[in-house]
Structure 1
Amino acid sequence: MSILEADRARIAAIDAQILIFLEYSDRELESLSALQGEQAALHERLASYKYPVLTLPNEIVSKFFANFLPIYPLCPPLTGTSSPTNLAHICRLWREIAVATPELWRAIGFSDEGVRSEHKIYLSNLWLSRSGTLPLSIDIDEHWVDTAKILPDFLPHCARWEYLQLHIFSPLPHFLPQMPLLRQIDVMLGMTPPIFTLPDAPLLRTAIVGARRGVTEGVILPWAQLTSLTLRSVSASNCGRILRQATNLLHCNLRLFTRSDRQYTGSDVVLSHLDCLTMDTGSNRFPDVLSTFVVPALRSLTIEERLLSPVEPIRSLTAFISKSGCTLQKVHITEKIIEDADAYRQAFPSTEFSFEFDGY
């Protein structure tokens, strides 16, 4: 590499000398011709050099390219230095390898700032074609792209959707096509009322669901086959309705929207396999939801202290454990403002406690 650098420096020096000869015509033409000959020889030597990276097999280079991107199913930007499109701008060979590597183009998101929506749509169609027949990770957020314009391009590929994130405010088709490869879905619906029906999706195990004003009656998923469920800004009554159908959950994360459910009373929610439960609320009102849970296999609980009880959280936690018959190994109390931390450890000596204090 030092020799190549020296050659480039010598070429630059020759360029400067040639300019001088061209300015002063009384110089000998033989000297100019010699310099031009030396310059041509240097260019030829530089052109003949083959960089070691360009001698690697294409299959190895494509593996390097795949590791350049975020780990699937995370979506790289459509443009910029972290985008696979950047790899196609290095040289002709790398462009050919990048375009022929479907793994680079199978995770498509639209969060790039400063890129016009029309250009995002053009690029997404290009990525869809380059992704071949691979399963897809799709992230469509109406904040970044016009859903009405982009969805018609993606719906014909729904049989390849594996990870789907939809944060939208405009209406969707009431019944989406079948999604045989879908494993995870994240939907946040802003339309009122929210209507979303997912058809046959036999591999779906993880769902994240939210809707404006906590209303989710119009959201229909195959709840019984889920093992992980997150409900965001969902009313306590809707939460109970969904959870009574999601009987095979192992992990559950609830963020309650409680404006109309302060005096919530519902029938028991029995989740026989649930291992981990997280519960919080964005409201100053706190319905007694926890007391309706029967979770005999629960080992980990994360909960806002006021959702245990606004007055006697330890008594509430004791009643919950007794009713469920569970053996809690870890309890994480968030927004702790009521009970002394040591009081929890004294009441439940075999349980590991951790705390987040209010205001931290």
Structure 2
Amino acid sequence: MSVDVIGCILCGARGPAQPIVSEASRPWCPKSTYLQSTCDLCREFEQLENEINQLLEKRRQLKTRISLYHRKEIIQNIPPEVLSNIFHFFISSGSELDPSSPLILGAICGRWRAIAWATPSLWTSITIILNATSLGNKQQLAREWLSRAGQLPLSISITTSADWEDELPTIPVALLSGLIDAVNEYANRRRVLDIQLPSSMLPLFQADPHGISILHTLKIDPGTLLEVERVSEIFNPTNPRPSPAVVEIISVAFQSVRICWNNVTHLDVTFFSIDECCEVLRQAPSLTSCSFDSIMPDEDEFPLPESPLLHPNLTSLRVGTFHRDRFFQHVVFPSLRFLSVECHDVGLPTEDIISFLLRSPSPLHELHLLSFESEGSEFIIQILSAAPSLKIFHLNPLTEDDHDPSPLFRRLQIRHPSAPTVPNSYRNSKPWFTAGR
């Protein structure tokens, strides 16, 4: 290969030059060719530039290591009680966190693990999702998890995977009962118990053998929403019998839930018959908020009251039904302030509601009438006439009749010149229709 004596393309100096064989060696010059060349000084300059860049990169990496080292020192110097509080805020910062968040903390380093394992407040809530592949491991995990909570109250939720029904026949009964036995070991500290399991597993839950129960919230959902599949397996922990304040039940018969109802203040049930609704009102005198969704016809499990059942403390009631049942014939709520009636594609029991309102001289503040077959505006006037203390009225029929509330208000003004029954706020299925005095 011949070398011409030509001027340096960078500085113009003449002398022996070496060809540049690739554009990569001079990236700043897009027109570099095989014949172009640089002098010794320029090559030395380029070499220094490369060395400087390498040193800058090394400096950057060293600063990163120094930063990580000092950051580690800062973490190591944080007192354990401060780290424990930080961990607690991490666990409780939002519902989107993975239920195994305490385990994530323990995977960071040995010190974090020791502090997390020794912080009881991190382990007071556990969600167990049952499946055939890891049931044995979850039994041990549940015991270890709950043991780290010390003596604090516990929130325990047990549910199943989506393909549970297919897996259930293949799972040994001993594994299922073993897991629930692990939960039963902490029955004296269960404050919240959420059971979303097949009904056949309800009898496995037992009370504390020492007679202690602090259960505040009980939720039972066997996973069926069809009334024909309503289950009768018994949830019957005894000695002591649980006495929760909040109860949610779906598709389980009233007689199958053997608890003390005296302290229940909030109740939400689905698929109770009329006689069961009346019986729970009779056994739960402390109720202040109640929801009966999908009330079924009378099943003659309990005698209906011969005279309307008086419940003095109930202030909020939601009723949903697929039938023109006679629930409102059997009750009186003198303290009721909120009432919602959803009729699921059937007509409102207008006469029963009016009779109920007249029979219950309650300070009713808010009334919702939802998902019913409209029968015109006359029944609305009759209902409002029976509720003179009403402030908020929400109307949402299935049909589009009376979407414009103006005719209704005009009729109310005609019938009642002083307009005592016109609510302060009226809402129908179109939220932009509002009116006030």
Q: Counterpart amino acid of 1:337?
A: E
Q: 1:156 aligns with which of 185, 209, 215?
A: 185
Q: Counterpart amino acid of 1:274?
A: L
- Give the CA RMSD over aligned residues: 3.8
Q: Is the 8 A contact 2:275 2:299 kept in 1?
A: yes
Given the superposition, is the C-alpha separation of residues 291 and 196 from structure 1 closer, same or farther in structure 2, using an over 3 Å criterion?
A: same
Structure 2: gaps of 5 or more residues: 1-54, 165-174, 224-229, 400-428, 430-437
Given the superposition, is the C-alpha separation of residues 143 and 170 from structure 1 closer, same or farther in structure 2, using an over 3 Å criterion?
A: farther
Q: How many Å apart are 1:222 and its aligned residue?
A: 0.8
Q: 2:142 aligns with which of 97, 101, 124?
A: 124
Is 1:187 aligned to 2:220, yes or no? yes
Percent of matched pairs sharing the same residue: 23
Partner of 2:122: 104
Task: Tell me which structure has the larger Cα radius of gyration.
Answer: 2
**In the aligned structure 1, how far is the partner of 2:131 from the partner of 2:220?**
22
Q: 2:395 aligns with which of 337, 355, 358?
A: 355
- Equivalence map 1:12-27=2 (5 Å): none
- Equivalence map 1:274-353=2 (5 Å): 274-281=314-321, 284-305=322-343, 310=347, 313=350, 315-339=351-375, 344=380, 347=385, 348=387, 350-351=389-390, 352-353=392-393
Q: How many Å apart are 1:259 and its aligned residue?
A: 5.7
Q: Is the 8 A contact 2:324 2:349 kept in 1?
A: no
Given the superposition, is the C-alpha separation of residues 109 and 323 from structure 1 closer, same or farther in structure 2, using an over 3 Å criterion?
A: same
Q: How many Å apart are 1:41 and its aligned residue?
A: 8.1
**In the aligned structure 2, how far is the partner of 1:90 from the partner of 1:300?**
50
**In the aligned structure 2, how far is the partner of 1:43 from the partner of 1:297?**
67
Q: How many Å apart are 1:353 and its aligned residue?
A: 0.9
**In the aligned structure 1, how far is the partner of 2:262 from the partner of 2:92?**
32
Partner of 2:167: none
TM-score (norm 1): 0.73
Given the superposition, is the C-alpha separation of residues 260 and 201 from structure 1 closer, same or farther in structure 2, using an over 3 Å criterion?
A: closer
Partner of 2:236: 197
**In the aligned structure 2, how far is the partner of 1:98 from the partner of 1:117?**
25
Q: How many Å apart are 1:122 and its aligned residue?
A: 3.1
SS at match of 1:197: coil
Partner of 1:64: 86
Is 1:170 aligned to 2:200, yes or no? yes
Which protein has greater RCO, CA pairs closer than 8 Å, 6+ apart? 1
**In the aligned structure 2, how far is the partner of 1:101 from the partner of 1:175?**
28
Q: How many Å apart are 1:280 and its aligned residue?
A: 0.9
TM-score (norm 2): 0.61
Given the superposition, is the C-alpha separation of residues 342 and 149 from structure 1 closer, same or farther in structure 2, using an over 3 Å criterion?
A: farther
Q: How many Å apart are 1:113 and its aligned residue?
A: 8.6
SS at match of 1:151: helix
Given the superposition, is the C-alpha separation of residues 210 and 42 from structure 1 closer, same or farther in structure 2, using an over 3 Å criterion?
A: closer
SS at match of 2:319: strand
Q: Counterpart amino acid of 1:63?
A: N
Number of residue-to-residue matches in the alignment? 314
Q: How many Å apart are 1:265 and its aligned residue?
A: 8.7
Partner of 1:21: none
Q: 2:276 aligns with which of 238, 250, 257?
A: 238
